[in-house]
A and B are shown apart, each in its own frame.
Chain A
Amino acid sequence: MVGRGAMSNSIAELKESPFILATGTNTTETHPVIALKVKKAVSNGSKLVVIDPRRIELANFSHRYMQIKIGTDIALYNAMSNVIINEELYDKEYVAERTGGFEELKHFIREYTPQYAEQITGIPSEDIIATAREYAAADSASIIYTVGITEHSCGVHNVQSLTNLALLTGNFGVTGGGVNPLRGQNNVQGAGDAGCLPNNLPGYQRVGDDAARANWEKEWGVTLDPNPGVTKVTAIDDMILGRMRALYIMGENSLASDANAGKTRKALEALEILVVQDIFLTQTAELADVVLPAAGFGEVDGTFANSERRVQRVRKAVNPPGVAKPDWQIISELGERFGYKKKFNHPAEIWDELARNTPILAGISYDRLDFQGIQWPCPTSDHPGTAVLHTDNFESEKGYLMPIPHVGIAEPTDEEYPLILTTGRRRATYHTGTQTGRSAGIELLVPHEWVEINPEDADELKLDDGEVVSVISRRGRVQSPIMITEKSPPGVIFMSFHFPNETPTNVLTTDLHDPITETPEFKACAVKIEKIAQHHKNQSDKNGTQNTNQSLKMAG
């Protein structure tokens, strides 16, 4: 593994990348403006290979689309490594100087022939070979991915096997190359940078690192626990067991966005106190004992960090409603009541405290962010920021090639649950809909949830386009109209989680998760579809079908 969950390269650079491998990313829907850079590259003559179980819109721009069976990524990337090593297409100098583990990988990868991978992934071996050759031959090649890679029980291994490709071909540290996770939320990067992870202090300094801890202890004037805390997934188990008694949530609709919603509800209900600080009374806030009104976007000063590690200023434009206050202010005031007296008057002061103790951010100040953002690492006030990571070396000195075995999804189909449900987003709506759901007109673009299903499956189940069905998993059931589309491969259905009131999709998803990051496998769980009573169907036909046709178009 190399570095931390951020793009190694920059967004605008994609326009210049001669070869782009887009895998597990429905970029035109989830990151439409990044998709523009990819389209631009293609119109400038760059090659684009799209790998996705669903025939997504981006595939229309690719010179090769590879429809992969869900959850078989590792077999594919291993087979590409196999070709790159066997045909000696790898960058020998780079591998010798900058990487470790080559011999082990070479040995391990032998069984992953393209023919073997074809059996697992469903992708013709010729396509695997051609893609491996093109990727290795390109002057620089960029890999982009989204949660289609990480939201699996083998998410970390997926990333590691992808990273092998970039290491073998010397694609780190070069413009137009790299391995680039496109991050879903506006400031998911900043939340991690700020230390909102159970094992990391701000700036990805480990809680177990004595020197780092000592530094923060000095800054904060307290003694810190050297043991990592628990992730959300573990915390939920602990709540059900009664070990976790209090939860404070800032701005997250966990009930609607987390996997296995039934379990999440049970956990939240078991708490002795649930505090929710948010801008709307979300489904999660409705369960709280105390709800605190926060100032939201457009009402606060501060920074967001985007996918390319760029820290950017956000600014207050209007006053918050009622007595709502900025999140930082609420928590500071609460801290004072617990006897912690340090006071901040403006987010700039908070930034300075963070930056002066965080080497990767140390050179960034609000003054410097006035016109444009700066990409970390930015160690000093005269450093321009870093567009491309790893130009000289890796965090761990060498980038390690990892032998990763293929495992498959955690909850495969069986006779009772013969379909795979995969979840994701749609362009015009966002997440649990608390914001887009309150923006006028968006409802015309994506009026409601629908289940995308292949014509073969619909035929077999005798379903009509627009018909409302029950989707059932081992954990629960929801109802939704269907849309029959070739976009879904046979055996796979697709849903979003944008309508948690009408169709709480995460009631279905599994919380089986990656053992390392504890990210749940949102991208695959076993389900079945059942027809429901006739009168339901008629009702939805009146106000459902036409909308579904509309939606079809919007989803491209």
Chain B
Amino acid sequence: MLKEETLKVVINGQEVESSFGKTILECARDSGVDIPTLCFDSRVKATAACRLCSVNVKGRRLPVAACAQKMEPGMEITTDSSDLESMRKTILDLVVSENPTGECVRCEEIGPCELHTLTKRYGSKPGRFHGALSGEKSKDTNPFIFRDYSQCILCYRCTSVCGELEQAHAIVPAGRGFGSRIAAAFDSGLLDSSCTFCGQCIQTCPTGALMDRKMLGQAKASEVTKVKTVCPYCGTGCGLNLHVANNKVIGTTPDWDSPSGEGSLCVKGQFATDFVGHKDRLKTPLIRRNGVLTEATWDEAYDLIVEKFTQIKEESGPNAFTFWTSARATTESNYIMQKFARAVIGTNNVDNCSRT
């Protein structure tokens, strides 16, 4: 690891301390100064494609990209001059002019995307520039990742995350100049690529170009609540948010504060939570009557267990019982199960699936 050595710089007239190796953006954010970004994802190398984060550095003629420029001792930086702000508005005007309006459902169904949050802040509107429109809606029919490159702004966040972070290289920048676009290998659908459907491209995309297909058409963003929890699958314990509308889980997004996940999920945490509330769920107790499992009330089920357990305990003692608990259930439920075995029935015959 690099040794952290401190250096002094000035941001918007304030002297601040930073360390070598940090970018202007990191240093600004550390000291509470907001610089807008569009193509930046802290987990991958900056591509400096959008220039929205441009700042002025004293002694330099042209603005520099704060997300890519490393701090140097004594730098004097301005992040919020009116020139910079109007340049940012122009960049955003240009970006939104390339995308068709009125087609994307992202802001309405999933919540405002980064791009539209920024255009609102800067009062940018489409139609100021007339030029080539962005790419096309993809015909990819995979059930997880909706791809509509007419909304793409070529920030390359998705391809960086796919290549650098996931190292899956399922989608790559393709073409040149006006023909630049994002494509899966051989322009195929993602099911025929090396995609693992971790969904990280959706999560980093600042526009409606990539969306969680399972979440679409389920609810209005205003009806959705997010519940912070942890993935129910493997022992990595990635943090995630369940998106809930009308008592239904409609999808997940990563919890960026999760210490083990650090904002990542795999296909299971990202796309396999629809078993919650599945129609096959058990809804009532069942009791075997004449050889067939039939619906029963809780009282009937409890009575039957109490009767049979009491009889067996009287005849054979507590060690004729065994309790298997679940590595899927909560720690609290597991605790209660072993307490029931030990304190109520009186046996240490309790085990969980860690062996299997």
Chain B, residue nearest A316 (CB): B227
Q: Are B329 and A251 in contact (CB under 8 A)?
A: yes
What's the minimum C-beta distance from B271 to chain A, rounded to whole angstroms?
6
> Knowing A196-B352, A298-B229 touch, does A278 contact B260 (C-beta < 8 A)?
no
A319, CB-defined interface residue at 8 Å: yes
Q: Are A315 and B228 in contact (CB under 8 A)?
A: yes
A202 to B233, CA, bound (A): 23
User: 1/0 per residue B35-69: CB within 8 Å of A?
Assistant: 00000000000000000000000000000000000
Find chain B residues with CB under 8 A from A245 CB.
312, 316, 320-321
User: 1/0 per residue B266-298: CB within 8 Å of A?
Assistant: 111101111111101111111110000100001
A258 to B352, CA, bound (A): 12
Q: Are A335 and B344 in contact (CB under 8 A)?
A: yes
Q: Are B323 and A281 in contact (CB under 8 A)?
A: no
Q: Are B288 and A322 in contact (CB under 8 A)?
A: no
Find chain A residues with CB under 8 A from B242 CB.
298, 317
Q: Are A225 and B197 in contact (CB under 8 A)?
A: no
Find chain B residues with CB under 8 A from A338 CB.
306, 309-310, 344-345
What's the minimum C-beta distance from B333 to chain A, rounded to whole angstroms?
4
A214, CB-defined interface residue at 8 Å: no
What's the minimum C-beta distance from A150 to chain B, rounded to whole angstroms?
9
Choose from B230, B266, B288, B345 the contact partner of A312 (Cβ within 8 Å): B230
Find chain B residues with CB under 8 A from A202 CB.
335, 338
Choose from A11, A229, A292, A296 the contact partner of B348 (Cβ within 8 Å): A229
A319 to B227, CA, bound (A): 13
Q: Are B262 and A12 in contact (CB under 8 A)?
A: yes
Q: Are A553 and B194 in contact (CB under 8 A)?
A: yes
A245 to B226, CA, bound (A): 45
Choose from A229, A279, A303, A350 the contact partner of B350 (Cβ within 8 Å): A229
Find chain B residues with CB under 8 A from A254 CB.
324, 353, 356
Find chain B residues with CB under 8 A from A159 CB.
none
A319 to B194, CA, bound (A): 37
A238 to B321, CA, bound (A): 10
Q: Are A286 and B293 in contact (CB under 8 A)?
A: yes
Segment with Cβ contacts to B, from A28-36, A87-95, A403-411: A28-36
Q: Are B309 and A273 in contact (CB under 8 A)?
A: yes
Q: Are A324 and B275 in contact (CB under 8 A)?
A: no
A64 to B192, CA, bound (A): 29
The interface size bin for chain B is 35 or more
> Knowing A186-B327, A207-B348, A334-B306 touch, does A315 contact B229 (C-beta < 8 A)?
yes
Find chain A residues with CB under 8 A from B165 CB.
36, 40
Q: Are A185 and B353 in contact (CB under 8 A)?
A: yes
Chain A, residue nearest B165 (CB): A36
A296 to B273, CA, bound (A): 11
> Knowing A12-B262, A435-B275 touch, does A290 contact B287 (C-beta < 8 A)?
yes
A226 to B234, CA, bound (A): 34
A314, CB-defined interface residue at 8 Å: yes
Segment with Cβ contacts to B, from A107-115, A128-136, A514-522: A514-522
Q: Which of B247, B288, B301, B332 has the most CB of A within 10 A?
A: B332
Q: Which of B142, B231, B302, B338 has the most CB of A within 10 A?
A: B338
Q: Are A281 and B328 in contact (CB under 8 A)?
A: no
B222, CB-defined interface residue at 8 Å: no
B176, CB-defined interface residue at 8 Å: no
Choose from B259, B283, B353 the contact partner of A321 (Cβ within 8 Å): B283
Find chain B residues with CB under 8 A from A119 CB.
none
Q: Are A350 and B293 in contact (CB under 8 A)?
A: no
Choose from A250, A304, A334 the contact partner of B324 (Cβ within 8 Å): A250
A304 to B237, CA, bound (A): 8
Q: Are B333 and A33 in contact (CB under 8 A)?
A: no
Q: Are A520 and B333 in contact (CB under 8 A)?
A: no
A436 to B269, CA, bound (A): 10
Q: Are A292 and B301 in contact (CB under 8 A)?
A: yes
A477 to B281, CA, bound (A): 30
A197, CB-defined interface residue at 8 Å: yes
A44 to B280, CA, bound (A): 46
A233 to B352, CA, bound (A): 11
> Knowing A193-B331, A373-B237 touch, does A235 contact B322 (C-beta < 8 A)?
yes
A536, CB-defined interface residue at 8 Å: no
Q: Are B337 and A427 in contact (CB under 8 A)?
A: no
A322 to B273, CA, bound (A): 19
> Knowing A318-B277, A321-B283, A328-B336 touch, does A272 contact B312 (C-beta < 8 A)?
yes
What's the minimum C-beta distance from B258 to chain A, rounded to whole angstroms?
8
Q: Are A190 and B331 in contact (CB under 8 A)?
A: yes
A/B interface sample: 13 pairs, CB < 8 A = A5-B354, A32-B196, A32-B266, A187-B326, A187-B331, A191-B353, A238-B322, A248-B321, A280-B282, A307-B236, A311-B331, A327-B330, A354-B335
Q: Which 3 A-B pairs have the closest CB atoms?
A: A322-B283, A306-B237, A302-B330
| Extra inter-chain contacts (20) besides given A198-B351, A250-B326, A444-B142, CB under 8 Å | A33-B265, A43-B167, A186-B235, A186-B237, A194-B338, A196-B334, A196-B337, A196-B350, A196-B351, A229-B322, A243-B320, A245-B312, A249-B323, A257-B353, A258-B356, A279-B282, A300-B330, A373-B230, A438-B275, A439-B273
